[in-house]
Amino acid sequence: MTERYDRLLAALREVALVNSVYFVVEWDEQVMMPPGGASHRAEQKAWLARTAHTRQTSAEFGDTLSEAEREQAGAADDSEERAVLRQARRAYDRAVKLPGALVEEITRTTAHAHHAWVEARKHNDPAKFAPWLAKIVALKQQQAACLAKPGQAAYDVLVDEFEPGETTAHLDEIFGALRAPLVELVGRVMGSGRTVPGELLARDFPVDAQEALGREAAQALGYDFTRGRLDVSVHPFSISLGPGDSRITTRYHANRFSDAFFGVLHETGHALYEQGLPGERYGTPLGEAASLGVHESQSRFWENLVGRSRSFWRYFYPKAQRAFPGTLGDVREDDFVAAVNVIRPSEIRVESDEATYNLHILLRYELEQALMSGDLKADDVPAAWSDKLHGLLGVRPATDDRGCLQDVHWSGGSLGYFPTYTLGNLFSAQLFEAAGRDLGDLDASFARGEFAPLREWLREKVHRHGQRYQPQELITLATGAPPSVEPLLAHLRRKAHEYYGV
């Protein structure tokens, strides 16, 4: 008997359909929309968010869910049905606690705030964005108040929204286990006296050739361009507009190789996950990514574990040389590989190396908690940001557009999102270790340009399950051990040793 359960699936698909229209409108806004469209676009998004919320919280939906639960009461704990019901119940219980007007207000505010952030960043003027940040924090506090379980801190509510089951207590443990080793590792690298020729990535890289090379790399990793596309946006992102339409974006600078190239690999990793989800389950929890942390594990996997490996460049460096003959023609492969593995404290998260990256996340994690608790005011963010970066990495942002204005997330209301990046880093290193155990010599296949076995391994272990398992459980099943900081630290220590002799 699956009549009620099937009805639930249909109802879930209807909500997903509305959300998918929102994603079309969102993609267009970020990538295509002329400035004159901003104001009406906010109304379109507010309407769509409200409509999805109304459907998701209707009495009819609630009844359908309850009836499906009764019908499937006997389903096994590890069954698909149980997973669907768990996720649907979780989403419904959260949605009904949020007033539609608040959902609409958050959507409208962040639509406007995004453009304010773009302007503030362009003019290096955090005061232009501060009132929007203050408003967004207030709205997120309201949202958290609606959703909080007794005794749950506001920031914990937000974290759990992006990463089901995650808590600040657990994140504190993780960051606690990462902080000292990373600071120490970066210190040793800095003290090694060894320099890596990172400046060769700041030479002349014509944008057209960057775009062509990025496209070639995405295709080599398995990104299907008949079910996606690559464009330019202020802040790179990946998004699915429906099954069969998973898009990625990047941004180009004519004298920076890494931003766009590794950005494309990163977003390709996200898109491979989306393209690997079971299309026939689209719109149900079994056709959706497990969590943002797991999503980020896929992007960092291809960006870092694969894309910065020596063996990847054994295959790909000749292509890069052909793309930039004047710039890379006389650069040795070894020097190039060392350059893409440079470790050096810097201001910009998305340009930072694998070792310092999680310290950038730690900074945001702590500032977000302070914003949500009220200990930090929006106006004081620029100074706090600078101080904290200095404390962690010994550098200060030269300007605020390279400091607190560098990231898109807060303008979109995504407070509590950043920690999922560090979770993704942990998961990616752990998955890569496990894949190596299962598949044998990955380096040999990378050097031949063979990425399909690895991609299929991820499909099998991660993608095809959708939300069948909770994130931590999924990683445990895929790798044979619960998530841990050790694989990442081991990976980084190997790198430090290989490139800096420390």
Q: With H, G, I as helix, E, B as strand and everything else as coil, classify residue 38.
A: helix
| In the complex, least distance from residue 19 CB atom to its own copies, rounded to whole angstroms | 11
CB half-sphere exposure, 90, CA atoms < 13 A = 16
Given the complex with its own copies, which of 47 and 315 has the nearer CB atom? 47
Q: Is 70 exposed, middle or buried (0-12, 13-18, 19+ CB in 10 A)?
A: exposed
230-232 and 245-250 beta bridge pairing? parallel
Given the complex with its own copies, which of 226 and 330 has the nearer CB atom? 226
Beta bridge partners of 230: 248
Q: What is the DSSP letter of 149?
A: P
Contact between 396 and 389 under an 8 Å Cβ cutoff? The reply is: yes
Integer CA distances (angstroms), 254 to 113, 259, 342, 453, in order: 29, 10, 20, 34
Given the complex with its own copies, which of 140 and 455 has the nearer CB atom? 455
Instruction: Please tell me the distance from the alpha carbon of residue 189 to that of residue 178, in angstroms, as a whole number.
Output: 16
Given the complex with its own copies, which of 245 and 407 has the nearer CB atom? 245
| In the complex, least distance from residue 20 CB atom to its own copies, rounded to whole angstroms | 6
| In the complex, least distance from residue 459 CB atom to its own copies, rounded to whole angstroms | 17
Given the complex with its own copies, which of 116 and 147 has the nearer CB atom? 116
Q: Is 23 exposed, middle or buried (0-12, 13-18, 19+ CB in 10 A)?
A: middle
Instruction: Please tell me the distance from the alpha carbon of residue 425 to that of residue 417, in angstroms, as a whole number.
Output: 14
DSSP secondary structure string for all residues of 443-501: HHHHHTT--HHHHHHHHHHTGGGTTSS-HHHHHHHHHSS---SHHHHHHHHHHHHHHH-
Residue 267 appears among annotated catalytic residues: yes
Q: With H, G, I as helix, E, B as strand and everything else as coil, classify residue 223.
A: coil
Catalytic residue of the set 26, 163, 211, 267: 267
C-alpha dihedral sign at 131, 132, 133, 138: positive
Which residue ranges make up the site for its own copies (CB under 8 A)? Answer: 17-18, 20-21, 24-25, 27-28, 32-41, 43-44, 47-48, 51, 224-229, 241-245, 247, 282
| In the complex, least distance from residue 24 CB atom to its own copies, rounded to whole angstroms | 5
Given the complex with its own copies, which of 44 and 304 has the nearer CB atom? 44
- Active-site amino acid positions: 267
